[in-house]
Structure 1
Amino acid sequence: MDRMEVTENFAGITLPGHLHTQESLHAAATFQFRDTDVVIVTYPKSGTTWMQEILTLMYSKGDGHLAKTVPNWARAPWLEHVYFKDMLQADREPRLLTTHLPCHVLAPALKKAKAKVIYVARNPKDIVVSFYHFHKMAKFLPEPSSFEDFLMQFLDGTVQYGSWFDHVEGWLSQRRELDLFYITYEDLHRDLGHAIEELAAFLGCALRPEEVSAIQQHSSFPAMQENTMVNYTLVSCDILDHSKGQFMRKGIVGDWRDHFTPLQDALFNRVYKEKMRHSSLRLHWPLA
């Protein structure tokens, strides 16, 4: 499948046609979840790959063999991707699933099951920088003309995958209706060991201290950056132009400060405060 220039419209957002078709998107919207499923939910560039790695290692009790021999997109396949049927291991328990879809698409099906949802959020200023760089290397995403233009599209919610503000607010508004665990990229960065212990408690996955340490080691940024099952170097240059950057780029908090001008920062803060004025979101990032 190619469809590099195709854009799909679904549920009020646009998505890259290389990865999605109307058939695959409707299949995701009507997917029958199991009570034992664990669903990783993120807006793009929020720490998805990191959480896929952590959960893989958590269920293997820190044994890195699976994480080093099977690509992350096969271990925790994307619900809405065209490859999902081929990647899903139906006999596995629990099944790790991944999605970027907005809440209103999946919540009705999730409410019928007892599937556990892990929502990973990130400072949107860091997201827009990471997403911008990813657009420059991903041939299935529109080439951004400039960071300024991309930032404006992000704030308007017209980038592919839709509005960050709508995505995070939509999912977190359903915390009482879904079995949802909320964690941030910044939480993982600040104290990975503690985050792993909290996730293990939520999932009922008992871990010994040495297993937590092994998970930390294998899911550290340097380890993931070198792991071909995680760093997306297995993906053809026809799809990801590796000459224009690395998928695992920096893995830090606050990289936006090296990209935003003072005027861009002030604009972002203004829009953020307006759109999030009624939010109960627990912030783990400074606006300044």
Structure 2
Amino acid sequence: MYSVYKGLLVPSMLHTPESLKYFEEFVFRPDDIIIVTYPKSGTTWTQEIVPLIMSGGDPASVETLPNWERVPWLEKISAGTFNLEQRASPRMLATHSPYNMMPPSFFEVKPKVIYVTRNPKDVFVSSFFYHRTASFLVNPGPQTNFLHKFLDGKVRFGSWFDHVKSWLNAEDKELILHISYEEMILDLKDSVGRIAQFLQKSLDDEAIEKIADRCLFKNMKKNNMSNYSGVPREFMDQTKSEFLRKGIAGDWKNQLTVAEAEYFDSVYKDKMKDVKDVKVGFKNT
């Protein structure tokens, strides 16, 4: 069910040798916009926000194409079917790739990146429920077992810690906007404004307000082009857990035992001891 790609576990159904080769050979343009996340860190949300910013708030940008087509994941099998080479600029693209595994073309042309981080405890909880829903992922088993796998990096796309650190240590920092899921929860209008400014897209307050309202979790959840309702049940059984589940910060407090949370903190403290500028106050969120 999983294959190993350059040391990382990836779901075989979504990432074939052909699709990974397509990713490695992808030719970026300088004006591409790349959304980068570790899985379950706010990708779908950002895939809603960025097209709306680029369209000036026109809802057609998120109502006419499923999110995986409007902002395709470059390493997924579907990417090669979208004729991305023919798409008009600026293209909006997504990846779960660590920095050091980006294609050579990325480092040559240096497109803009929006990197979204999220409290890893909430990433874990979201991943746990998602693994129970998606048939192309390995059954997570008991929560504590999956917690150890997650903290050991024995899950899809490897270690959260390695992924986050790879992008925090990336070169050309002025071309990367680091934003957190928690910041977006706290003040979505401000976050939309920051992303728009980074993308050099001039929007007035009314447009920013409109986009922020459209991207509130409760409103985005109604968009059938974003809530994965069109995915067949044999691939994603949303009767077990909705794809867009809660959209909150701090849900780990409802899910982790005290012992699990303490163990998580100890691993986090050790793994991130050399990092000063992570965006999120994880322990208190």
TM-score by length of 2: 0.96
Superposed displacement of residue 179, structure 1: 1.5
Written as runs of structure 1 = structure 2, the 5 A alignment for 1:253-272 is 253-272=249-268
Determine helix, strand or coil for the equivalent of 1:226.
coil
Unpaired runs of at least 5, structure 1: 1-5
Aligned residues of 1:52 and 1:72 also touching (Cα < 8 A): yes
Superposed displacement of residue 175, structure 1: 4.4
Find the partner of 2:69 among 71, 74, 84.
74
Corresponding residue for residue 22 of structure 2: 27
* Cα distance in 1, alignment partners of residues 183 and 18 from structure 2: 36
Corresponding residue for residue 195 of structure 1: 191
Superposed displacement of residue 130, structure 1: 0.3
Evaluate the alpha carbon distance shift between residue 205 and residue 88 of structure 1 in structure 2; reply closer, same or farther with a 3 A threshold: farther
Unpaired runs of at least 5, structure 2: none
Residues paired across the two proteins, number: 283
TM-score by length of 1: 0.95
Letter in 2 for 1:66: S
Written as runs of structure 1 = structure 2, the 5 A alignment for 1:4-23 is 6-23=1-18
Written as runs of structure 1 = structure 2, the 5 A alignment for 1:26-105 is 26-89=21-84, 90-105=86-101
Superposed displacement of residue 64, structure 1: 0.8
* 1:185 and 2:181 are equivalent in the alignment: yes
Letter in 2 for 1:167: H
Corresponding residue for residue 3 of structure 1: none
Q: CA RMSD in A?
A: 1.3
Corresponding residue for residue 155 of structure 1: 151
Aligned residues of 2:161 and 2:271 also touching (Cα < 8 A): yes
Find the partner of 1:232 among 224, 228, 233.
228
* Cα distance in 1, alignment partners of residues 110 and 9 from structure 2: 29
Superposed displacement of residue 178, structure 1: 6.8
Identical columns (%): 41
Letter in 2 for 1:163: S
Letter in 2 for 1:236: P
Determine helix, strand or coil for the equivalent of 1:9.
strand
Which string of whole-angstrom CA distances, capped at 9 and with x for unpartnered residues, describes residues 169-221 of structure 1? 01110043671110000111111111111111111100011110110121110
Corresponding residue for residue 174 of structure 1: 170
Which string of whole-angstrom CA distances, capped at 9 and with x for unpartnered residues, describes residues 105-142 of structure 1? 10643220131011000000000000000000000001
* Cα distance in 1, alignment partners of residues 155 and 50 from structure 2: 29
Corresponding residue for residue 117 of structure 2: 121
Aligned residues of 2:133 and 2:241 also touching (Cα < 8 A): yes
Determine helix, strand or coil for the equivalent of 2:282.
coil
* 1:214 and 2:210 are equivalent in the alignment: yes
* Cα distance in 2, alignment partners of residues 201 and 177 from structure 1: 16
Evaluate the alpha carbon distance shift between residue 177 and residue 202 of structure 1 in structure 2; reply closer, same or farther with a 3 A threshold: closer
Superposed displacement of residue 278, structure 1: 0.2
